[in-house]
């Protein structure tokens, strides 16, 4: 046929060989040699971390943060280079660090890092000059200094700038929290927790990658992915030592038990779960068996109700914002707790757990609470809110 020419198989091979430096035969660009070389350096660096080989680590570049994480029990540690920007004999690499704590993490923590590297003019090898969190990514404990490790019966506590004695105190609190949560929440969960205790509020904010002002007055938070067991592999309870240190003995225990409850319920907490339920349930477990009355445990809400300012509705998610007014935030937590306490009192603890799971079983927020209230409690949201308001007036009247 005019205008066409049959190309032999050998010609195709020759053409591919000719273009291999630019484009592979399959249409994919060939591997970037610098990126491959950087990945090789980081693979050796990861092997040195897992092998506790300080000399091998030093041969890959900067010594930090090897010394800071030497005591951390690691089951896995790996890097994946996602991008490299080279400028002569220097390069900046965007990297994913994946690691897993031995005996505690069901899956790896993944965090983004930015690495600076340089190439030796003599042998052409790349080496790491610095390794820092990527922009908008939180720090890891070893970014902040030498990590001390204390093991409890049900807990692993990692601290920076804290004494071993102080960390032992956190382990004791966590070891009491785990069985207390298991007694209330009978679903299968890991029954162990990881607690991070940084040096200060600012250091806590650094771990979370947020401004310190967002957590001022917050004693602790729990990080982790919601939405099913496969997405909840590595929760962390992160303590604000400044606020936590102001609490009494009961308050400290309630906080650790509250946060441990979030770890236990994570797999059944989804986008469908409102904060009044997840935070209220965690407080319900925290105060369960403490002997504290509603008036003692919910002073801000008690004051509002006694002054005729009974809330018209259950707390919204926005009411739980850490930047909200302190009194408003307290009333939100207290209102959620009283809602869960009411369910436990009037429908029973087993029904409270079933309600929590039923809400989380929905794929989205719309209709989740309504369906669960109807199916588990036999009540409409309007009737529930009315009963909750009356419950508040009865307890605080």
- CA atoms 362, 365, 371, 374: torsion sign: positive
Q: Tens digit of pLDDT for each residue in 349-358?
A: 999 999 999 9
Identify the pLDDT of residue 324: 60
Contact by Cβ (8 Å): 59, 75 = no
Token output for 102: 């031995």
Identify the pLDDT of residue 31: 65
Q: In the chain, how long is the greatest CA-to-CA distance?
A: 98
Contact by Cβ (8 Å): 332, 320 = yes
Average pLDDT over residues 140-164: 97
Average pLDDT over residues 231-252: 89
Give every CB contact of residue 292 below 8 A, 6+ residues apart in sequence: 250
CA distances from 170 to 44, 163, 335 (A): 35, 11, 28
- CA atoms 235, 241, 247, 253: torsion sign: positive
Average pLDDT over residues 32-49: 96
DSSP label at residue 375:
I
**155-160 vs 193-197, strand pairing mode:** parallel
CA-based angle 279:282:232, to the nearest 5?
Answer: 85
Does residue 121 carry a pLDDT above 90? no
**193-197 vs 236-239, strand pairing mode:** parallel
Q: Tens digit of pLDDT for each residue in 264-322?
A: 999 999 999 999 999 999 999 999 999 999 999 999 999 999 999 999 999 999 999 87
Tell me: cis bond preceding 92? Omega within 30 of 0 counts: no
Average pLDDT over residues 27-52: 88
Identify the pLDDT of residue 256: 98
Go through the domains of the chain in sequence order and give each one's CATH number.
33-137 (3.10.450.50), 140-264 (3.30.2010.30), 270-397 (1.10.390)
Does residue 14 carry a pLDDT above 70? no
**74-87 vs 220-223, strand pairing mode:** unpaired
Token output for 165: 């004695």
pTM: 0.89
Give the chain's mean pLDDT: 90
Q: Tens digit of pLDDT for each residue in 54-88?
A: 999 999 999 999 999 999 999 999 999 999 999 99
Identify the pLDDT of residue 25: 44
pLDDT band at 186 (very low <50, low <70, confident <90, very high): confident
Radius of gyration, alpha carbons of the chain: 27
């Amino acid at each position: 046929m005019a205008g066409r020419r049959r190309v032999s198989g050998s010609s195709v091979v020759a053409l591919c060989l000719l273009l291999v430096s630019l484009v592979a035969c399959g249409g994919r660009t060939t591997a970037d040699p610098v990126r491959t070389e950087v990945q090789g350096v980081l693979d050796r660096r990861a092997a040195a971390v897992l092998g506790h080989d300080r000399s091998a680590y030093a041969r890959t570049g900067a010594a930090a943060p090897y010394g800071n994480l030497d005591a951390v029990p690691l089951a896995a540690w790996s890097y994946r280079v996602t991008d490299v920007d080279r400028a002569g004999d220097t390069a900046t690499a965007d990297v994913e660090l994946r690691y897993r704590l031995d005996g505690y993490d069901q899956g790896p923590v993944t965090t983004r890092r930015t690495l600076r590297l340089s190439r030796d003019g003599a042998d052409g090898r790349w080496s790491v000059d610095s390794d820092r969190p990527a922009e908008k990514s939180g720090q890891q404990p070893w970014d902040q200094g030498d990590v001390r490790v204390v093991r409890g019966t049900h807990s692993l506590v990692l601290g920076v700038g804290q004494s071993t004695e102080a960390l032992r105190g956190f382990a004791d609190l966590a070891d009491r929290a785990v069985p207390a949560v298991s007694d209330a929440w009978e679903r299968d969960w890991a029954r162990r927790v990881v607690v991070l205790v940084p040096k200060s509020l600012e250091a806590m904010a650094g771990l979370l990658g947020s401004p310190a002002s967002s957590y001022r007055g917050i004693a602790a938070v729990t990080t982790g992915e919601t939405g099913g067991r496969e997405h909840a592999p590595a929760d962390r309870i992160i303590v604000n030592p400044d606020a936590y240190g102001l609490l009494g003995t009961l308050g400290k225990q309630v906080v650790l038990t509250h946060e441990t409850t979030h770890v236990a319920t994570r797999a059944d907490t989804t986008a469908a779960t409102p904060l009044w339920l997840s935070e209220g349930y965690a407080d319900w477990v925290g105060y369960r068996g403490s002997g504290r009355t509603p008036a003692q445990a919910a002073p801000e809400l008690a004051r509002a109700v006694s002054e005729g300012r009974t809330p018209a509705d259950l707390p919204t998610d926005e009411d739980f914002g850490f930047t909200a007014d302190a009194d408003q935030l307290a009333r939100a937590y207290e209102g959620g707790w009283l809602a869960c306490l009411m369910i436990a009192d009037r429908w029973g603890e087993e029904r409270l757990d079933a309600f929590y799971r039923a809400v989380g079983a929905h794929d989205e927020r719309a209709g989740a609470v309504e369906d669960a209230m109807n199916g588990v409690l036999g009540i409409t949201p309007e009737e529930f809110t009315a009963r909750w308001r009356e419950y508040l007036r009865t307890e605080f009247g």
